[in-house]
Amino acid sequence: MSDNSDSADDTVGTDLDGDPVEAFETLGHELRLAVVEELAARQRASAWQPEPVSFADLRAAVGVADSGRFNYHLNELVGSYVEQTSEGYTLTPAGYEVSAAVLAGSHAGSEVGPVEGRLDHDCHICGATLRGHYDDGYLSILCPEDGYLFGNTVPPAAVAGRDIETVAAVAERDLRRTVEDAVDGVCPECYGGVETTLPADTLPRDTQQTEDEDAVPARFECDRCGLTFSSNAAGVVLDHPAVVAFHHDHGVDVRERSYVEVESATERVTSEDPPRTRVELELGDERLALTLDGDGEVLETERHGG
C-alpha cells in the first residue's frame, strides 16, 4: 500500500451544514426534553452501555398517557437526538450533549448569586488579599487596589451550595483547561483548529483587564467559530513537562497552583523577528527559563541554581 492511498481515508469529512435553528426547534417542547433527560439518566447509570428502551417503557417513564401524542414527539427526536433500533430507543451523542448542558444549568445564569468573599490568594502586583465575586454566571477575581484581575464563566450548577473559594477554584480549573485546549490547537467551544500568536500583535480589548507591564500576552483564535481570547505567556507553558517537573521537584503540584500565582512569572520578548518570548518561573532558589516561538511552542528550557 502506498502512503497516498493510506492518507485518503484518515481524515473525517468536513460537512457541518446541519441547520442549528431546526435542531434547537426540535427540542422546543417540554415532553421532548423529558425524553432526552430520561434516556440520558439511563446512559449515565449504565457506564456508557445503555440498553435500548422500548416505546412502552419510555412512554411510562416520561409519564404520557396518550400514545399517539407521545409517538409524534418521539419521532421528531429520532435522527438527531434519539436513535431508533429494532430493540428500542437510545440517545445519540448530540442528545447527551444537550442533557449535559441542561444539567450544568447554563441556561439559567441569572438565578444564582451574587456572592462575594475573600480568597486564599494574594495579588501578584500589590500583595493585597484577593476577593471573588460571582454574579450572572460569571466569576471575577478582584484586587481591592488593582481592580479586576481575571474571570471566567461558571455555570450555576457549579456554584449552588458552594463557597466563593470553591467557585473560584472551579473557574480557574476551567480557564486552565480552556488554555490547555487552545495550546493543543483545539477550540474549547467548537473543536475547530486554534492558532496561537505570541506575543499577541494587539493587546486584549478587554478594558477591564489590569495593565500588567511585565506580562507578554498570547492570543488564541479559532478558525471555525472565530472565538478569540488571551492569556499571559506563562499560561501557555503551564502543562509543559519541564514546568510540571520543575514544580514537582520543589514539592509543588502544578495542578494546584493558582493562575493568580503563575501570573507572577517573569515574561519578556527577547526577539521580534523571529518572535521569541522568554518565561521564567522561580521556586526556592531555582529558576526555570523557557524560550517560546511565535506559535507558543517551547524551543528550549534551562534550569539555573537550586
Minimum Å gap between C-beta 126 and Zn ion is 3
Q: Helices 55-62 and 30-45, interaxial angle, to 10°? A: 110
Among 62, 112, 123, 183, binds Zn ion (CB under 5 A): 123
Among 101, 108, 126, 203, binds Zn ion (CB under 5 A): 126
Residue 128 grid coordinates: 493585597
Comparing CB distances to Zn ion, the nearer of 222 and 281 is: 222
Among 31, 33, 103, 125, binds Zn ion (CB under 5 A): 125
Q: Is residue 146 a contact residue for Zn ion (CB under 5 A)?
A: yes
Choices 117-125, 156-164, 244-252, 263-271 (CB under 5 A): range interacting with Zn ion: 117-125
Minimum Å gap between C-beta 123 and Zn ion is 3
Comparing CB distances to Zn ion, the nearer of 203 and 225 is: 225
Among 145, 206, 297, 302, binds Zn ion (CB under 5 A): 145
Q: How many CB atoms within 10 Å of residue 162?
A: 15
Which one, of 69, 65, 87, 67, lies nearest residue 29 by Cα? 69
What are residue 88's DSSP bridge partners?
A: 85
The three-state (H, E, C) secondary structure of 5-27, written as one string: HHHCCCCCCCCCCCCHHHHHHHC
Alpha helices, DSSP H, located in the chain: 3-7, 20-26, 30-45, 55-62, 67-77, 93-104, 164-183, 233-237, 241-249, 259-262
Residue 241 grid coordinates: 513537562
Minimum Å gap between C-beta 83 and Zn ion is 27
Choices 108-116, 144-152, 155-163, 266-274 (CB under 5 A): range interacting with Zn ion: 144-152
Residue 242 grid coordinates: 519541564
* b/e 268-280 (16+ beta carbons within 10 angstroms → b): eeeeeeebbbbbe
Comparing CB distances to Zn ion, the nearer of 101 and 108 is: 101
Please report the sign of the dihedral spanned by the C-alpha atoms of residue 222, residue 223, residue 226, residue 228: positive
Comparing CB distances to Zn ion, the nearer of 73 and 224 is: 224
CB-count burial class (<10 Å; 0-12, 13-18, 19+) for 66:
exposed
End-to-end, the C-alpha distance of the chain in Å comes to: 53
Among 58, 218, 222, 238, binds Zn ion (CB under 5 A): 222
Choices 2-10, 77-85, 100-108, 223-231 (CB under 5 A): range interacting with Zn ion: 223-231
Cis peptide before 274 (omega within 30 of 0): yes
Site for Zn ion in 225-264 (CB under 5 A): 225, 227
8 A C-beta contact, residue 37 and residue 102: yes
Site for Zn ion in 160-199 (CB under 5 A): 187, 189-190, 192
Choices 2-10, 141-149, 254-262, 294-302 (CB under 5 A): range interacting with Zn ion: 141-149
Minimum Å gap between C-beta 91 and Zn ion is 24
Comparing CB distances to Zn ion, the nearer of 83 and 97 is: 97
Number of residues that bind Zn ion (CB under 5 A): 15
Comparing CB distances to Zn ion, the nearer of 181 and 249 is: 181
Q: How many CB atoms within 10 Å of residue 242?
A: 17
Minimum Å gap between C-beta 124 and Zn ion is 8
Name the residues that contact Zn ion, by CB under 5 A. 123, 125-126, 128, 143, 145-146, 187, 189-190, 192, 222, 224-225, 227
